[in-house]
Amino acid sequence: SGQGERADLSGVDLSNVDLSYANLSRANLYGADLTDANLLKADLYKANLQSARLAGTILQNANLAYADLRDADLYGASLTGAKLTHANLTHADLTTADLANAKLSHAALVDASLHGANLTNANLTGINLTGTDLTVAKGSDTVRGFKG
């Protein structure tokens, strides 16, 4: 079992902390404050990030596959190249987030906000966008698998 695996960090204040390359797979980060934290290439596979505060957080090339991001605040977060396949982003706020080259196939984005987000070359194959705000989303013409 890798370090951090199934760690309980619910409600913890990790704002501005450098967690690049951290192994947080299956960690419980429910309601945690990760505002402006550095999670570059972090492993958050199947992590519970429900209601987490991730505004301005660096999540470039992070593994968020199957992560629970329901009601998460990802305002202005950098998710370039991030793996979000099968992630649950229901009601998540991705306003002005950078999702260029992100892998979002089969993710749930029901009632999420992507207002002003950058979706350049993102992969949205098989995604559920019911009720999602895509107004002024940049690069939506370059998105793969987008049926909007």
Q: Tens of pLDDT along 43-71? A: 999 999 999 999 999 999 999 999 999 99
pLDDT at 1: 37
pLDDT at 146: 56
Q: Which of 8-12, 27-31, 100-104, 137-141 has the lowest mean pLDDT?
A: 137-141
Angle at 118 between CA 10 and CA 127, to 5 degrees: 70
pLDDT at 135: 72
% of the chain at pLDDT higher than 70: 93
Q: Are 50 and 71 a contacting pair, CB within 8 Å?
A: yes
Evaluate the CA torsion angle 129, 93, 12, 22 in order and state its sign. Answer: positive
Q: Tens of pLDDT along 72-128? A: 999 999 999 999 999 999 999 999 999 999 999 999 999 999 999 999 999 988 888
pLDDT at 60: 98
Instruction: Note the pTM of the prediction, 2 decimals.
Output: 0.90
